[in-house]
Amino acid sequence: MSIAAQTVAEMMALPEQDRAFLARQLIASLDDTVDADGEAQWNEVIDRRSREIEEGKVSCRPVEQVIGDIRQKLHARRQPS
């Protein structure tokens, strides 16, 4: 089964937000296996980390800063010794 080029073109013409929603739905439809134990473990981690942030036990940094630091470290590793 193939999707008609016209259908693809219509989807690509959708606003970005609608395309993102469609992409998430398509990806979710491909993953029919859910690891219930894994989901529960991730929820526990999320809850714990949220409490740590709210209680001031950890400090947060903007994602841009974290990514910049990672890129800097990777770049340093690639430099010849």
Nearest to 19 by CA among 31, 33, 8: 8
Domain that holds residue 19: 1-32
Q: What is the pLDDT of residue 4?
A: 87
Residues 16 and 40 in one domain: no
Residues 44 and 77 in one domain: yes
3-state secondary structure 12-67: HCCCHHHHHHHHHHHHHHHCCCCCHHHHHHHHHHHHHHHHHHHCCCCCCCCHHHHH
Residues 46 and 8 in one domain: no
Q: Please give the residue that has the higher pLDDT: either 24 or 1.
A: 24
Residues 43 and 75 in one domain: yes
* pTM score above 0.85: no
Rg of the chain, C-alpha, whole Å: 21
How many structural domains compose the chain? Answer: 2
Residues 10 and 48 in one domain: no
Residues 20 and 50 in one domain: no
Residues 28 and 41 in one domain: no
**DSSP conformational letter for 75:** H
pLDDT digits (tens, 9 = 90+) for 29-79: 887 777 878 889 999 999 999 999 999 999 899 999 999 999 999 999 998
In terms of phi and psi (left: phi > 0; alpha: psi -120 to 50; beta: otherwise), the region of 14 is beta
